[in-house]
Structure 1
Amino acid sequence: MTRAYLALAAICIIWGTTYTAIKFAVSDFPPFLLVGIRQSMAGMLLLSLAAAKGKTFRSDRKYLLRQMFTGFFTITGGNGFVTWGMQFVSSGLAAIIGSLTPVAVVLINIAWRGAEMINARVIAGVLLGFGGLGLVFHDGWLDFLRVEYRWGIVACFASCFSWSLGTVMAKRWNNTAASPLYNAGLQLTAGGLGSIVLHFLFNPSAQIHHTTAGWLAIFYLVTFGSALAFTLYTYVLSHLSATVSSLYTYINPVVAIFLGWIFLGEHLTFWTVLGMAISIVGVWLVNSGQLRRLRA
Structure 2
Amino acid sequence: MPEVTARPAAPNGPAPRTNAPLTLAAAAITVVLWASAFIGIRGAGPHFDPGALALLRMAVGALALGLIVLRHGFRLPERRHWLLIVAWGIGWFCVYNVALNSAERSLDAGTAAMVVNLAPLMVVVFSGLFLGEGFPRPLLIGAPIAFLGVVLIGMSSSTGEGLDITGLSLALLAAVMYAGCTLLQKRLLTSGVDATTLTWLGAVAGTVALLPWTGRLIGDLQTAPLDAVLWVVYLGVFPTAVAFTTWAYVLQRTSAGQTSATTYVVPAIAIVMSWLILGEVPTLVMFLGGALCLLGVVVTRMRWGAARRSQSNRPR
**Which TM bucket (shorter chain)?**
0.7 to 0.9
CA separation in 2, counterparts of 1:76 and 1:173? 19
Aligned match of 2:96 in 78, 99, 103?
Answer: 78
Q: Which residue of 2 aligns with 1:254?
A: 268
Structure 2 CA distance for partners of 1:158 and 1:204, relative to 1, 3 Å: same
CA deviations over 1:204-230 (Å, ceiling 9, x no partner): 699623211211101111111111111
Cα contact 1:75–1:163 (8 A) shared by 2: no
Please state which structure has a larger fraction of its residues in helix: 1
CA separation in 1, counterparts of 2:234 and 2:163? 32
CA deviations over 1:219-259 (Å, ceiling 9, x no partner): 11111111111122222222222133225414311221222
Cα contact 1:108–1:165 (8 A) shared by 2: no
Larger deviation, residues 231-240 vs 165-174:
231-240
| Aligned-residue CA RMSD (Å) | 3.7
Q: Which residue of 2 aligns with 1:135?
A: 152
CA separation in 1, counterparts of 2:271 and 2:193? 36
Residue 90 of structure 1: how far off its partner (Å): 5.3
CA separation in 2, counterparts of 1:163 and 1:67? 15
Q: Which residue of 1 aligns with 2:86?
A: 68
Larger deviation, residues 92-101 vs 241-250:
92-101
SS in 2 for 1:253: helix
Q: Which residue of 2 aligns with 1:35?
A: 54
Q: Which residue of 2 aligns with 1:5?
A: 24
Residue 23 of structure 1: how far off its partner (Å): 1.5
Cα contact 2:110–2:155 (8 A) shared by 1: no
Q: Point out the structure with max Rg over C-alpha.
A: 2
Say if 2:182 is the partner of 1:163.
no
Segments of structure 2 that go 5 or more residues without pairing to the other structure are 1-19, 310-316
Structure 2 CA distance for partners of 1:140 and 1:182, relative to 1, 3 Å: closer
CA deviations over 1:174-219 (Å, ceiling 9, x no partner): 167444332111111112322344x47xx96996232112111011
Say if 2:105 is the partner of 1:87.
yes
CA deviations over 1:147-198 (Å, ceiling 9, x no partner): 3xx544443343233112111111122167444332111111112322344x
Cα contact 1:128–1:279 (8 A) shared by 2: yes
Say if 2:122 is the partner of 1:104.
yes
CA separation in 1, counterparts of 2:119 and 2:182? 9
Q: What percent identity do the matched residue pairs reach?
A: 22
CA deviations over 1:101-144 (Å, ceiling 9, x no partner): 43221122355369x94576655556545544443454566624
CA deviations over 1:27-74 (Å, ceiling 9, x no partner): 111112211221133223323542x44824315432322221222232
Structure 2 CA distance for partners of 1:75 and 1:210, relative to 1, 3 Å: same
CA deviations over 1:65-85 (Å, ceiling 9, x no partner): 222122223222333322222
Structure 2 CA distance for partners of 1:63 and 1:278, relative to 1, 3 Å: same
Q: Which residue of 2 aligns with 1:172?
A: 187
Counterpart residue type for residue 253 of structure 2: H
Counterpart residue type for residue 4 of structure 1: T
Q: Which residue of 2 aligns with 1:270?
A: 284
Residue 20 of structure 1: how far off its partner (Å): 0.7
Segments of structure 1 that go 5 or more residues without pairing to the other structure are none
Q: Which residue of 2 aligns with 1:25?
A: 44
Q: Equivalent residues in 2 for 1:216-231 (5 A)?
A: 216-231=230-245
What TM-score does the superposition give when structure 2 sets the normalisation length? 0.74
CA separation in 1, counterparts of 2:144 and 2:26? 30
Matched residues, number: 288
CA separation in 1, counterparts of 2:44 and 2:298? 32
Counterpart residue type for residue 274 of structure 1: L
Higher relative contact order (CA 8 A, sep 6+): 1
CA separation in 1, counterparts of 2:57 and 2:40? 12
CA separation in 2, counterparts of 1:277 and 1:102? 18
Structure 2 CA distance for partners of 1:105 and 1:151, relative to 1, 3 Å: same
Q: Equivalent residues in 2 for 1:276-295 (5 A)?
A: 276-282=290-296, 292=305
